[in-house]
Amino acid sequence: MNWITRERPKIDRLACPWLIKRFIDHEATIIFVPEDQVLRQAQALNATPFDVPSVEYTHYEDRCTFDYFLQKHNLTDLALQAMAPIVRGADTDNHGLAAQSAGLWAISAGLAFNIQDDQQLLNQGIILYDALYSWAKHLQAVKHTQSPTEQLLLAVLQAYLKPTGKRNPPIWVHELKGLIQDQIDTNLSLSLNDLSESLDVNPAYVSRTFARYFDDLSFGEYIRKLRIEKALQLLGTTTYTLTEIAYLTGFSDQSHFTRIFKKTMGQNPSDYRKNNPKRKADTNR
């Protein structure tokens, strides 16, 4: 059977052909053509189109074409189910779906960059997804460091990497602090992915090491801390209402602001303001 899709495959258009050939149609022929020719060539070649708009085998809501193939053909293999969020995360740039998604995207993008012939690229993709399937089937619980010597060396490395107060943090840490403070001050939305992109640092690495350089707090905890600190300053030096302060500090509404403030400070923001002897009215209002 013929299957046809857009040229220059990277994620879905390599994962789906692999799935077709391994689990659906072992004798399948995969055809790649320019996007504007897919539907016309599908009719001419009696081929089933996939991963293009307005066809059956395509994206639905937040799911990619690989997900639809699994559903359509009732493929319940647990290894395939484990692969699905990895492929989906890589294909939709939602690398938080699976730890392996960012790596799959990086390798796939590199393959497409190095190989210009789509059929040759597909052959390499088959090897890549065979390996991913073997990992999902047999090796998910296996760690890279197996021997006692390797584990000891890893423990020494992790101990070395712990902050001691003497080692200078990477340059991106200072830049990230500045970016976060700028956004807090201007009440803009904060996204770790967007901030990491501005720094040209992998967001997964930033997320993994964030607490090391930011008061032992996760990204979300650190942002909440800065918002509460800004709220304290506004409560102590302005006559803004609690609703206005909630907006200025990035909380969704006054109720959310009050709940987080009380959880952090042990009292409501109105009680804090009432009991703050240093409060001064904002003369600019």
Angle, in degrees to the nearest 10, between helices 171-186 and 219-237: 40
Specify the higher pLDDT residue, 111 or 221: 111
Specify the higher pLDDT residue, 189 or 57: 57
Q: Indicate the range of 38-47, 207-216, 252-261 predicted with least confidence.
A: 207-216
Which of 135-139, 189-193, 226-230 has the highest mean predicted lDDT (pLDDT)? Answer: 135-139
Neighbouring-strand partners of residue 27: none
Secondary structure of the chain in HEC code, one letter for each residue? CEEEEECCCCCHHHHHHHHHHHHHCCCCEEEEECHHHHHHHHHHCCEEEECCCCCCECCECCECHHHHHHHHCCCCCHHHHHHHHHHHHHHCCCHHHCCCHHHHHHHHHHHHHHCCCHHHHHHHHHHHHHHHHHHHHHHCCCCCCCCHHHHHHHHHHHHHHCCCCCCCCCHHHHHHHHHHHHHHHHCCCCCHHHHHHHHCCCHHHHHHHHHHHCCCCCHHHHHHHHHHHHHHHHHHHCCCCHHHHHHHCCCCCHHHHHHHHHHHHCCCHHHHHHCCCCCCCCCCC
pLDDT, average across residues 184-195: 62
pLDDT tens figures, 59-81: 998 899 999 999 999 999 999 99
pLDDT tens figures, 87-123: 999 999 888 889 899 999 999 999 999 999 999 999 9
What is the CATH number that goes with domain 220-274? 1.10.10.60
Name the nearest CA neighbour of 35 among 75, 2, 6.
6
Domains in the chain: boundaries: 2-139, 150-216, 220-274
Burial of 282 from C-beta contacts in 10 A (0-12 / 13-18 / 19+): exposed
pLDDT above 70 for 151: no
Specify the higher pLDDT residue, 97 or 159: 97
